[in-house]
Chains A and B, each alone.
Chain A
């Protein structure tokens, strides 16, 4: 068992943080890599990019939004309990290099994944502007972490309850107009990454996105996570999870992410009904 040593609820209880004992993974993991978690014997294998690792303590941290049965099961795990299986670190690590001015754009729980990458980009000497957003102030996560990890933090909310009233893409456009941006990193919901990539393409600024398609093994064996990048089929689990944002076929990715939509909805509903009846 992989024990949970710390648990926090964020974003009004819709987002959960778990710090998990996994010494072998913590020792090897680098920013941008992911793990696969399985709650129990009958559980599904769920890929999640790590938000933090602590090699000295032997722990990794994941932050996820509760969206279906499997994440609802994860949410019900308490400190001292644990995951039956955690596998990793998987995928390629982020290529961290000093390029100059960098903008990191995060939406939803993508902010959690963006955090170690942002910090890493700052550590190697880049000038890092960070733009994070959520629907409203209460749903925003990791504000202080992101402030510490960047030189300049901009916040957006869809309803204007905090920071800029509007989308991260509005602020991004402004920052890009300021000029001289060498790299944009965007992590969040697929429509957000698609919108960011279409803007940065106009400005001709290199853009990196991190994808989280449906997968089973995470080691290149099943091919369920295939995405079209630059007209070629890639496996996100081993060729990614990070890709050139300008080359990704987002529309195909959105359709593929819906493969089990009906099953997911029903399964989650049944789980909640049974849990609440208890």
Chain B
């Protein structure tokens, strides 16, 4: 490392200002409040502009990270966002929710000796700057091809496909089962982590480009894939997400007060039940809340429960801190907000009263044994370690399986043994001609950026199919 580079590594990362933990733990406003221009430029100047950038290789959609960061450093914010859009249709979302620490920032050379460049924060800055100060100018579109594409699902992968294909001149309609577009960005990720106004703006951007969005359309029920072809669509992209909540399958799981994270978060986020009774959808308010699971969805659920006024929120997880799948920032924020981690703890049954309402759960202490198939050390129950946790609300966030609503109505689209759609890893082609698939319905529950990467690959393949015939 050169002396200049070495100096840069010594410079501390510019922290993004945040709401105070005590204050934010009781409101739904976004937690980090964003960089100022000065902060962004200062942070951008920490980038070494590597010849062979590890960060780009670490990004599932290969954003030109040194490129857009250099433009920020030079003060060319319009250039920076244009550069980002070249690879990523949803930078305002990715800057907020990507697991940067295991992707781009995890590969940053600056991070080997000091703290990595805050790539996610800078990406968010660009998108926010454009939203607040940009001209709203749309990217150029190719002449109309006359080809029609149906995108099923308006989550991150569907939005990516729609955005890519509309600028290539195709006629694109998105079908969304819910009454609002955005998929998991709207029903799953809470307002304090991803403001819904930002998602609405991303969708609006696509609509301004000419994408039609049809809500309340449950493909598989309201209309089938074959009927879409009959209506004249030339290609279909299936990005319906995972969408089948997993439960613990332990006694007492149907007591009132036990909800899947899908239900809890959908009530809070899509239905805005955190504003109840200003809106009509209620949400159970727990005094003592337990969240089962340790992924991002578990952190989102725990932090939502805290904001809804809980006295205590415990995350119960059968493995240890090292195995928690959530983004580091989420765990950190959750702990700052007073959420307790009950690690190496596994519930064995729920306890309830005569009204059928949850009053607690029985748990076992665990210890880590030999590595299992996932390479993680297997949690093993410690005999005789039973103990009770009192709680009046439990949110089950132990993952999602593949929702069979669409796939069961489409027998010629092959599934794997878990019910996920079989799709070519390189291009998203399914076994049904003219149908592509990507995101969680193919991979099982994963991240926003991986779903977007799959959408990007499928969009390229659909474009080839529509223009070249393969």
Per-residue 0/1 for B279-298: is the Cβ within 8 Å of any A Cβ (1 yes, 0 no)?
11110100000000000000
Residues of chain A with a CB closer than 8 A to B221's CB: 28, 88-90, 219
B281→A44 contact, CB < 8 A: yes
**One of B215, B262, B272, B284 near A223 (C-beta < 8 A):** B262
Asked whether B278 is an interface residue with its Cβ less than 8 Å from the other chain, the reply is: yes
Interface centre among A69, A219, A238, A252 (most CB of B within 10 A): A219
Question: Quick check: B280 and A219 within 8 Å, CB to CB?
Answer: no
Cβ contact within 8 Å between A256 and B284 = no
User: Which single residue of chain A is at the shortest CB-CB distance from B244?
Assistant: A220
Cα–Cα distance between A21 and B288 once the two chains are bound (Å): 45
CB contact under 8 A between A219 and B266, given known A85-B216, A255-B356:
no
**B168 in the interface, Cβ–Cβ < 8 Å?**
no
Dominant SS among interface residues on chain A:
mixed
Write the A245-278 contact mask toward B (1 if CB under 8 angstroms, else 0). 0000000100110111001101100100000000
A69 near B266 with CB under 8 A, answer: no
Interface presence of B222 (CB below 8 A): yes
Residues of B within 8 A of A264 (CB): 282
Q: B405, A70: Cβ atoms under 8 Å?
A: no
Contact assessment for A219 and B403 in the assembled complex, using a CB-CB cutoff below 8 Å: yes
Q: How far is the CA of A205 from the CA of B403 in the complex (A)?
A: 34
Q: A36: shortest Cβ distance to chain B, in Å?
A: 9
Which residues of A, 63-112, contact B by the 8 Å Cβ criterion?
Answer: 69-70, 73, 84-90
Contacts of B262 in A (CB 8 A): 221-223
Q: Which of B38-46, B252-260, B303-311 contacts A (4 or more CB under 8 A)?
A: B252-260
Give bound CA distance, A252 to B218, whole Å. 30
Task: Please report whether the interface of chain B is mostly helix, strand, loop or mixed according to DSSP.
Answer: loop
Q: Is A226 an interface residue (CB 8 A)?
A: yes
Residue numbers in B under 8 Å from A163 (CB-CB): none
Contacts of B254 in A (CB 8 A): 226-228, 233, 252, 256
Query: Is A222's CB under 8 angstroms from B216's CB?
Result: no
A216 with B179: CB separation less than 8 A: no
**Within 8 Å CB of B355, what residues of A?**
255, 258
Q: Which residues of A contact B245 (CB under 8 A)?
A: 221-223
Q: Does A25 contact B (CB under 8 A)?
A: yes
What residue of chain A has the Cβ atom nearest to residue B246's Cβ? A223
Q: What mask results when residues 155 to 193 of chain A are scored 1 for a CB within 8 Å of chain B, else 0?
A: 000000000000000000000000000000000000000
CA distance A25 to B218 in the complex (A): 10
Tally of contact residues, A, Cβ under 8 A: 42
Interface residues on B, range: 35 or more
Q: A42-B278, A217-B266, A270-B277 are in contact. Are A87 and B179 (CB under 8 A)?
A: yes
Q: Is the CB–CB distance between A219 and B405 below 8 Å?
A: yes
Closest to A41 in B: B279
B177 adjacent to chain A (CB < 8 Å): yes
CB distance from A160 to the nearest CB of B (A): 34
- Interface assignment of B178: CB less than 8 Å from any CB of chain A: yes
Contacts of B357 in A (CB 8 A): 255
Distance from A157 Cβ to chain B, minimum over Cβ atoms (Å): 32
The digit string for A25-58, where 1 denotes a CB below 8 A from any CB of B, is: 1001000000000100011110000000000000
Given contacts A38-B179, A45-B271, A255-B256, 6 further A-B contacts (CB under 8 A): A85-B179, A216-B281, A219-B243, A221-B262, A227-B254, A259-B284
22 contacts between A and B (CB under 8 A): A42-B278, A69-B280, A85-B216, A88-B221, A88-B222, A217-B266, A219-B221, A221-B266, A223-B245, A223-B259, A224-B260, A228-B254, A233-B253, A255-B256, A255-B355, A255-B357, A256-B356, A259-B257, A259-B284, A260-B284, A263-B276, A266-B277
Residues of chain B touching chain A, judged by Cβ–Cβ distance below 8 Å, are: 177-179, 215-218, 221-223, 243-245, 247, 249, 253-254, 256-257, 259-260, 262-263, 266-267, 271-272, 276-282, 284, 355-357, 403-405
Q: Write the residues of chain A forming the contact surface with B, with a CB cutoff of 8 angstroms.
A: 24-25, 28, 38, 42-45, 69-70, 73, 84-90, 216-217, 219-224, 226-228, 233, 238, 252, 255-256, 258-260, 263-264, 266-267, 270
